[in-house]
A and B are shown apart, each in its own frame.
Chain A
Amino acid sequence: MKIRKNSWLVLAGTAAMALAACGGPKSQSLTVCLASEPQSLDPALNSAVDGATMLVHLDSGLYRYQKKGDALELTLDLAEEISKAQAEVIDHEPDGDGWKEVKYPNGTRYTVKLRKGIKWSDGSAITADDFIYSWNRASGASLGGDYCYMFEQIADGVAHETDDAAYPSLALKKVDDRTFTFDVMVDVPYMDQLLAFPTYFPVQKAAIDANDSEEAGTWATNPSTFVSCGAYKMSAWEHNSYITLVKNPNYWDAKNIKLDKITFALSDDDNAMLASYKSGEYQMIDSVPNEQIDTLKKDFPNEFVIAGQMGTYYISFNVNSTVFEKAADEAARAKVRRALGLFIDREYIVKEIGKAGQIPANAFVSAGLSDPAGGEFVDHNGKARDGKGYYDKGETDEAYAANIAEAVALLKEVGYAYDETQKKFTDFPAFKYLYNTSSGHQAIAENVRDTLARYGITVNLENQDWSQFLQTRKEGNYDVARNGWVADYDDPSSYLTMWTTVSGNNDCQFGKGDHKDAAVYEADLNNNGTIEDNEKNLTWAQSYDVLMNNAAKETDPAKRFQILHAAEDVLMSTGAICPIYYYTDIYMLKSNVEGFFSSPLGYKFFMYCNVK
């Protein structure tokens, strides 16, 4: 009897809860899975795309991405108004043990006026001081953030203004609680994109002072100490399991945020993600097992999505490698590298291995980046600026055959022996192709090996784990290696700056070692767009470095892009960059979810979603 009484109580309780759930508008929520446990959700320390997606929901910057029709646009977020004016800008550059002033008479001063009454999730006011504190914190090398270089465009102040005397703070000035200014040496066209970039999001000093005394980023590891300023606040973080965000009522635009709750499931196991998606536990997953792509395209035509992404998959050659010993000088080596690149069957790799709608590439700067001349940068690439790139993509059999013919001719020119009956080279040296351990990279490596084997060229495959691989490539201890690059913002400089001599990402070793003295490049240094009067016999430092330096100083967008195209000409003339395809971003999204969008940087936006 007692048991029965209790069970009635339970029933009554359940009924009451069910009624409560029915009352009022239905709460909207989504469970999505992008990747595993994020490294950090401190905007200054995050450098991952999945972390950035969480951050655009938790925090906000001066600008934000919104969807207008089919296009994405940047609209003001925490800022009410951002104005700019020409100004003499003073930057500080390292000079021995100290700093020297460098003047930029044609610099730009930005004035930011924040919205009235904007608040942190804990209710306190967001002020100009918060931005000044956050930007100085994020840009300082002492914090050790991966993306501290994202503030390079902003002029440095003087060293002693900061706690850390070793590094200068930014030249940020507070005008009043709602207004501050910052200076840029050259007004780059992608400045508003940077202002929407998570590294530029403000963080609350009080939260950091209270939690980060021992280790930076501690405040951002726990919902109870995480103070946010965006559409959501963190309500739970079960490490390696899920992060839950709920609407932040203190966000200035909370009334337009549709989704009440987002659960980010933390996993990077494609198979498990797909199982959970199919069982209905997740409404969106950001990756799927490669071998399932064909089936998924067929079974879920409305849910399997291929979106554009700004990224290039390519093969990089070490310009100082001497493995192609018959090629005595840099010019000959460039021919060999170009020839090897022409052999690659991009169409096959994209269709049969990638399978995710990747676009065969004919240049280094990826599709998807805009050009001020209209359309995309790739529409104007190639020496003729006609968008045909630096070689034919070989999408038809005839075009591919022509590529092979050119490749064979180039190698013969260098002096390698070709057996015309066998259609094979007989004395081409075997070389090593390095890739990082992953089934996708392995499949491409095997395809490259098999393709070249048809022409008598032996490729030995070697794989290393990610960390070791990165080190080997950066140190230039390789001949040929798989490579890839994803843009940080929509501007070709995000691609091309990495190949300057001093860049830390110069895996090809341009301008280093023996390559430093190779005076074989020709470049359009006068920037008049005509190839005929290109300067010739330049070294890397005299050509590429100069072009990139000029581009950084150029304020006229059209001229600047001409220079960037000219830089890509020099880069591609080395043959050391062998682009294979432009990345795409594949994901699956349930068809009852409306209002979702993603950006070409791979960020996903759920806040305006409506679950039907």
Chain B
Amino acid sequence: MAKKIIFYVLKRLGLGILTYLIVVTITFWVMQLVPGGPWTREKALSDAVIAALNQRYGLDQPLFVQYLRYLVNAIRLPVPDFGVSYYYKGRAVTDIIFNGFKVSLGVGAAAAVLALVVGLALGTYAATHQNKFFDRAIMVITTASVAMPSFVTALILLYIFAVNLHVVPTSPVGAEGIGPYVLPVIAASLYPTAYITRLVRSSTLDVIGQDFMRTAKSKGLKPDRVLIKHGLRNSVTPVITYFGPMFASIITGSLVIEKVYQLPGVGREFIRSIQNRDYPLIMGTTCLLALLLIIFTLISDVAYIIVNPRVDFD
């Protein structure tokens, strides 16, 4: 069994690396095809300046040489190195990404934990109180949260708590402290919370009716203990599958949330780097997003088979 898991993980790891290399390759060549370049300005740069810049960043070399250089830097361990930004003078790409990423990661992790805790609690509660008032209420609210686009909920929260009640600042732009991050965390967690609640509710309902649960209960175990020890382990399986990609997508840029609250996250850098034709930053952000998605999907898949031994490895 353990052998099988290790083999599976290695296989997935290999596929992950291959995917990453493909992403690096496609990004590089597509970037070259896009018209406009890093030195296009409304007030044109002189030929001498453009030549100096091209030479400094190696853009005067053949494309294939540039590609190989990117490739080598992209697989450098422990952290890929994409050089310096062409747009933000004097700043390393890894530094820019790290700066944005720590915000995205902070907000994303907080939102994911919030979603997980609240979702599990609400979902289990709703399942054990099926068709009672709170179950119905939870279902209505979660349906609304899943259906409503995040820019609407984010704006509503912003309007009520920041613009009108002044409980928190509208955004961390120009404001210090963690106050401005409260609303983004809540806004980013709404959809996954609702989704997890519904997942947990239905899978718990499923589990409650199973034979082993009845056996446990008939053996005299307390209902709460049965639910937590035997029920939760089973009802949480779909959540784990969902959690990995959800976590990756929250932190790699819930672009809408970042935009509404003006979060200095990595999502906006991604968009801006493309607008500015900032080649190193485009490569950096794309590769980082790809890496994260690959890693989190991998982790979630592995967690899934550990929790649910029935999974077939093929």
Query: A interface vs B, CB < 8 Å?
Result: 31, 33, 37, 39-40, 42, 45, 47, 141-146, 148-149, 167, 212, 214-221, 238-242, 263-267, 269, 272, 275-276, 278-282, 464-472, 474, 484, 488, 503-505
Contacts and interface: CB of A to CB of B under 8 A. Distances in A.
B72 to A, nearest CB: 18
Nearest to B265: A240
B147 to A, nearest CB: 24
B268 A240 contact: yes
Contact of B90 (A37, A142, A215, A239): A215
B138 interface: no
Contacts of A503: 44
B36 A470 contact: yes
B52 A279 contact: no
A468 B37 CA distance: 8
Contacts of B262: 267, 269, 272
Contacts of A263: 174
A281 B90 contact: no
A470 B41 contact: yes
Nearest to A282: B174
A146 B174 contact: no
14 contacts: A40-B89, A45-B90, A144-B56, A218-B91, A221-B90, A265-B174, A267-B174, A267-B262, A272-B262, A276-B169, A279-B169, A484-B42, A504-B47, A505-B44
A470 B49 contact: no
Nearest to A269: B262
Given A240-B100, A467-B277, A272 B41 contact: no
A42 B89 contact: yes
Contacts of A474: 40, 44
A241 B173 contact: yes
A146 B43 contact: yes
Given A141-B52, A467-B36, A279 B88 contact: no
A281 B44 contact: no
Contact of A468 (B34, B41, B162): B34
B46 interface: yes
Contact of B275 (A264, A275, A467): A467
A242 B42 CA distance: 27
A278 B163 contact: yes
Given A239-B99, A465-B275, A281 B169 contact: yes
Nearest to A470: B40
Given A241-B264, A242-B173, A470 B45 contact: no
Interface string B123-161: 000000000000000000000000000000000001000
B128 to A, nearest CB: 35
Contacts of B169: 276, 279, 281
B111 interface: no
A142 B262 CA distance: 36
Interface of B: 34-37, 40-49, 51-53, 56, 84, 87-92, 96, 99-100, 158, 162-163, 166, 169-176, 259-262, 264, 268-269, 275-277
B90 A216 contact: yes
A380 B65 CA distance: 57
A149 B46 contact: yes
B121 to A, nearest CB: 28
Contacts of B163: 275, 278-279
Given A220-B90, A269-B259, 17 more contacts: A33-B173, A42-B89, A47-B41, A146-B43, A212-B90, A219-B90, A239-B264, A275-B163, A275-B170, A276-B169, A276-B170, A276-B173, A279-B169, A470-B42, A471-B36, A474-B44, A503-B44
B194 to A, nearest CB: 26
Contacts of A282: 174
A328 B276 CA distance: 40
- Majority secondary structure, A binding face: loop
Contact of B174 (A31, A42, A220, A505): A31
Given A42-B89, A467-B36, A241 B49 contact: no
Contact of B89 (A31, A214, A217, A279): A217
A221 B41 CA distance: 22
Contact of A141 (B36, B46, B259, B277): B46
B170 A281 contact: yes
A144 B170 contact: no
Nearest to B84: A215
A470 B45 CA distance: 12
**Chain A CB within 10 A, most for which of B49, B100, B162:** B49
Nearest to B264: A240
A307 to B, nearest CB: 21
Contacts of B44: 474, 503-505
Contacts of A144: 45, 49, 52-53, 56
A168 to B, nearest CB: 11
A57 to B, nearest CB: 16
A276 B174 contact: yes
A214 B45 contact: no
A282 B162 CA distance: 13
A148 B49 contact: yes
A240 B91 CA distance: 13
A60 B49 CA distance: 26
Given A239-B99, A470-B40, A471-B35, A221 B91 contact: yes
B172 to A, nearest CB: 5
Nearest to B268: A240
Contacts of B275: 465-467
The 7 closest A-B pairs by CB, nearest first: A265-B174, A467-B36, A504-B44, A240-B264, A217-B90, A217-B89, A218-B90
Given A45-B89, A240-B99, A275 B158 contact: yes
B99 to A, nearest CB: 5
A558 B90 CA distance: 44
B174 to A, nearest CB: 3
B84 A276 contact: no
A276 B171 contact: yes
Given A239-B264, A267-B171, A39 B89 contact: yes
A464 B275 CA distance: 11
B49 to A, nearest CB: 5
Contacts of A275: 158, 162-163, 170
A167 B46 CA distance: 13
B84 A467 contact: no
Contacts of A488: 43
